[in-house]
């Protein structure tokens, strides 16, 4: 314990002195002995304090810092995002690294970071010394993981750092008024949650043309946060979809046989999907007497046409072997 006593404009320090003792007897005697010991220690410790100046303290700190730490104080920090067409060499030049230093860094970074897998929009930070030498590099692979490279002597030390994720359980529910997509959006869902929900019931429901106004949906899912910032949705924990005939259930089980199960404990994955696309619109249904939109002739349409944006993944509805892939006249690409 430190005490400062101001006496005649002079600062006096009472230095703490470790004293171990046992006191036996009456309470009054305890106090007397303890006070005597404390007074003796305090009186023997009276001495003026030497107060260093701020400048002196700064010089002392600087003297104790190693050369590497001093270089960090003068380093130029460059932050940026990966742009379309960027290579690691372009990013290094943008950070102000000399050509020689950049080549040395590239040789060290390749075994740990594949520049070809750096995605547009991912963030990076460089610490560069005044002479152009790279001291540190951080690459944010995603919201929860980044890679740090530190120059230690003549070699580089790489390590992966994971950011803790906070998982918050949320519930969303509603009923269909119009399309399934718009109903989910109005209830507060984002596209990822909608696609995840429709994927769960893809073996039982063809949402493209079986969903009807008045159908009810409910989903319990995780919202993920990093440092208080929402970064996306996590796993769907439970979901239900009630149509005019029945209620479909999906519950996540994370044991040895992890997956989604219905209310009876059966795995909801079946042999056949109800639709080859995640969620889209049907432009023309299967029919034995459909009027052709171009020729205006009535003839059978032995298939289902889907309308979807370019690049939409198409799934096989069951296991099998591809027997043909190419252009097939009026059927187009198959």
* Neighbour count for residue 53 (Cβ, 10 Å): 8
Tell whether 86 and 194 lie within a shared domain.
no
- The verdict on residue 240 lying in a domain is yes
Instruction: Please say if the pLDDT value at position 118 is more than 50.
Output: yes
Tell whether 83 and 147 lie within a shared domain.
yes
The alpha carbon dihedral of 115, 120, 126, 130 has a sign of positive
Lowest mean pLDDT among 55-64, 73-82, 147-156, 255-264: 55-64
Nearest to 110 by CA among 130, 83, 82, 139: 139
Tell whether 193 and 279 lie within a shared domain.
yes
Query: Stretch 94-111: mean pLDDT, rounded?
Result: 78
Instruction: Please say if the pLDDT value at position 149 is more than 80.
Output: yes
- The verdict on residue 60 lying in a domain is no
Query: Stretch 158-187: mean pLDDT, rounded?
Result: 92
Reported as a pLDDT band with limits 50, 70 and 90, residue 11 is very low
Query: Stretch 280-291: mean pLDDT, rounded?
Result: 54
Per the document, the length of the chain is: 334
- The verdict on residue 56 lying in a domain is no
Nearest to 261 by CA among 243, 249, 273, 274: 249
Task: Give the torsion through C-alpha atoms of 17, 21, 24, 26, to 10 deg.
Answer: 0
Distance between CA atoms of 314 and 292, rounded to whole angstroms? 25
- The verdict on residue 108 lying in a domain is yes
- The verdict on residue 55 lying in a domain is no
Instruction: Please say if the pLDDT value at position 298 is more than 70.
Output: no
Give me the pLDDT at residue 256, please: 80
Give me the pLDDT at residue 290, please: 58
Tokens of 207: 């949402």
Name the helix (H) or strand (E) containing 230: strand 229-242
Tell whether 200 and 236 lie within a shared domain.
yes
Alpha helices (H) in 127-230, listed in sequence order: 180-187, 191-200
Task: Give the torsion through C-alpha atoms of 146, 151, 155, 160, to 10 deg.
Answer: -10
Q: What is the pLDDT of residues 220-265, one digit of tens each?
A: 999 999 989 999 999 999 999 999 989 999 999 988 888 999 999 9
Distance between CA atoms of 253 and 240, rounded to whole angstroms? 15
Tell whether 209 and 283 lie within a shared domain.
yes
Tell me which range, 118-122, 164-168, 312-316, is most confidently predicted by mean pLDDT.
Answer: 164-168
Q: Name the percent of the chain lying above pLDDT 70.
A: 62
Tell whether 190 and 236 lie within a shared domain.
yes
Contact 203, 190 (CB under 8 A): no
User: In degrees rounded to 5, what are phi and psi of residue 293?
Assistant: -70, -20
Distance between CA atoms of 168 and 15, rounded to whole angstroms? 52
Reported as a pLDDT band with limits 50, 70 and 90, residue 184 is very high
Domain boundary among 162, 195, 212: 162
- The verdict on residue 58 lying in a domain is no
Instruction: Please say if the pLDDT value at position 30 is more than 60.
Output: no
Tell me which range, 14-28, 50-64, 240-254, 317-331, is most confidently predicted by mean pLDDT.
Answer: 240-254
Which CATH number fits the domain that encloses residue 184?
3.10.450.350
User: In degrees rounded to 5, what are phi and psi of residue 116?
Assistant: -70, -20
Give me the pLDDT at residue 28, please: 46
Is this prediction's pTM over 0.85? no
Instruction: Please say if the pLDDT value at position 4 is more than 70.
Output: no
Tell whether 315 and 209 lie within a shared domain.
yes
Counting Cβ atoms within 10 Å, is residue 150 exposed (0-12), middle (13-18) or buried (19+)? middle
- Structural domains in the chain (count): 3
Instruction: Please say if the pLDDT value at position 22 is more than 50.
Output: no
Tell whether 134 and 186 lie within a shared domain.
no
Alpha helices (H) in 74-179, listed in sequence order: 88-94, 99-109
Instruction: Please say if the pLDDT value at position 154 is more than 90.
Output: no
The answer for residues whose C-beta is within 8 angstroms of residue 77's C-beta and 6 or more apart is: 125, 126, 127
Tokens of 249: 């259930």
- The verdict on residue 24 lying in a domain is yes
Q: What is the pLDDT of residues 83-93, one digit of tens each?
A: 888 888 888 88
Query: Stretch 58-73: mean pLDDT, rounded?
Result: 55
For the chain, give the mean pLDDT.
73
* Residue ranges making up the domain that contains 153: 67-162
Instruction: Please say if the pLDDT value at position 43 is more than 90.
Output: no
């Amino acid at each position: 314990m430190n005490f400062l006593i101001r006496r005649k404009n002079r600062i006096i320090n009472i230095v703490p002195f470790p004293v171990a003792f046992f006191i036996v007897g009456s309470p009054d005697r305890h106090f007397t002995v303890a006070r005597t010991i404390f007074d003796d220690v305090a009186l023997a410790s009276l001495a003026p304090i030497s107060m260093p100046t701020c400048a002196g303290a700064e010089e002392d700190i600087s003297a104790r810092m190693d050369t590497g730490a001093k270089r960090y104080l003068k380093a130029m920090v460059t932050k940026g995002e990966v742009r379309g067409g960027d290579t690691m060499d372009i990013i290094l030049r943008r950070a102000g690294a000399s050509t020689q230093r950049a080549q040395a860094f590239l040789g060290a970074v390749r075994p740990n970071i594949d520049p070809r897998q750096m995605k547009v929009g991912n963030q990076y930070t460089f610490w560069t010394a005044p002479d152009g030498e790279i001291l540190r590099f951080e690459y944010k692979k995603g919201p929860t993981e980044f890679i740090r490279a530190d120059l230690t002597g003549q070699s580089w030390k790489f390590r992966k750092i994971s950011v803790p994720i906070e998982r918050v359980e949320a519930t969303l529910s509603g009923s269909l008024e119009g399309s399934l997509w718009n109903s989910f959006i109005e209830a507060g869902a984002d596209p990822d949650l909608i696609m995840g929900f429709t994927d769960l019931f893809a073996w039982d429901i063809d949402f493209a043309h079986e969903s009807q106004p008045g159908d009810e949906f409910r989903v319990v899912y995780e919202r993920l946060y990093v440092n208080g910032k929402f970064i996306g949705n996590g796993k769907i924990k439970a979901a239900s979809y009630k149509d005019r005939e029945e209620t479909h259930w999906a519950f996540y089980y994370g044991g040895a046989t992890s997956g989604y199960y219905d209310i009876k404990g059966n795995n909801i994955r079946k042999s056949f999907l109800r639709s080859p696309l995640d969620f889209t619109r049907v432009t023309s249904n299967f029919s034995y007497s459909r009027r052709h939109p171009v020729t205006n002739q009535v003839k059978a349409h032995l298939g289902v046409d889907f309308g979807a944006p370019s690049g939409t993944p198409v799934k096989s509805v069951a296991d099998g072997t591809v027997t043909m892939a190419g252009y097939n006249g009026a059927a187009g690409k198959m």
